[in-house]
Amino acid sequence: MNENEYLQQVANLAGLRHYPQQGPWSKKSGSAVGTRDNYVTAIGFSHNRQGASLVILLRFKKLEQPELVKSALKSAAIKKGKLGAVGNNFLRWDWKYSFTKPKAEEVAKLAEDLRTAIKPVTTAFDGRCEQCASTSTQSLTLLNGMPMFICATCQDKVRHELNQAAVNYEAITPNYPNGLVLGLGAAAVGGLAWGLVAYAINYIFLYGAILIGYFVAAGVLKGTGKVTRLGQIIIPLLTIASVLFGDSIFYTLIVMKEEHVAFSSRLLNAVVVHLWQIEIQGSGVLSLLFALVGAGYALYAARKPKFQAVFQPLGAPNS
Ligand SMILES: [Zn+2]
């Protein structure tokens, strides 16, 4: 049974409706969404590096102490899956599986058990907008995929606030000197660590370059205060420089060990000057490649934050 058919079946058993291509998770199979006892319920599939999970999301009225939800679930001692996250108006339950999906009947039962467990400590929705708590709001709207009760006025407000956030972000004047100083610092420390670790384990590893990329990106962004085109150029350059610096440290340490000489700036200098010859003989090309991957990751991490609220009525994926 494919995910679409499966979610259709879960929806029928759990008293929800299946909406292909909609909901908080996997776009293709969509999710089973609806309200039961006025608790918003969404069930779908989440695929990440750790594997596949069936995810149940329950939403309730905003509350002061989300810890109460946690302890209520703990004392309910539910055996299938485990608690993923609790917020002040939602809980996420993850059921990891490999190969065979959990039985649809068990999933429907689980959604019910979860609801029963949190009922004493939460309040269900009451047909009003959950934002302003006044306007009558009968149908669910998806906000960036998340089903909620939100009236038209509050939707406009959210849109306006996000626009304002985007305007404020544009208004930040980037501090390049600061970005460069912090970026250089991160590159130097990262390169040194890379060289020392490579020497210690006698092996250059990919994650090191990726870590350096992240580290440099974080330094530059903290300094400049925002993502800019220039920052996006500086970050990969510093990442590559950092890895090359690390390689110089690595080869200097190797020379010191093999030739039984003490560290000197002349030695380091000699290595730096001949780094390219050394690199093409050893695994240098590989570490440059790693550095580029690291820079790629860094750039991905340093992309502009999204200030966007997409509201979508349930059952109309293309509107
Ligand atoms: Zn409202």
From ligand 1's centre to the CA of 128, what distance in Å?
Answer: 8
CA distance 282 to 137: 67
- pLDDT-derived band at 175, boundaries 50, 70, 90: very high
Ligand 1 center to 129 CA (angstroms): 5
Longest dimension (CA), the chain: 81
pTM: 0.69
User: For residue 195, is pLDDT > 70?
Assistant: yes
What CA–CA distance (Å, rounded) separates 159 from 139?
A: 19
Q: What is the mean pLDDT of the chain?
A: 90
Average pLDDT of 153-169? 92
- Of the candidate ranges 41-50, 122-131, 201-210, 248-257, the one whose mean pLDDT is the lowest: 201-210
Compute, in angstroms, the gap from residue 314 CA to the centroid of ligand 1: 18
- Residue 61 Cα to ligand 1 midpoint, Å, equals 13
For the record, the structure tokens of 81 come out as 């899956």
| Structure confidence by residue, pLDDT tens digits, 61-110 | 999 999 999 999 999 999 999 999 999 999 999 999 988 999 999 999 99
Query: Can you say whether the dihedral through the CA atoms of 124, 127, 130, 134 is positive or negative?
Result: negative
Q: Does residue 202 have a pLDDT over 90?
A: no
Encode pLDDT of 127-149 as tens digits.
999 999 999 999 999 998 999 99
**CA 33 to ligand 1 center in whole angstroms:** 21
Q: What is the mean pLDDT of residues 204-221?
A: 83
DSSP string, 86-134: E-SSEEEEEEEESSSPPPHHHHHHHHHHHHHHHGGG-----SB-TTTS-
204 — pLDDT class (breaks 50, 70, 90): low
Distance 124 CA to ligand 1 centre (A): 16
Residue with the larger pLDDT of the pair 244 and 121: 121
Mean pLDDT, residues 20-29 = 85
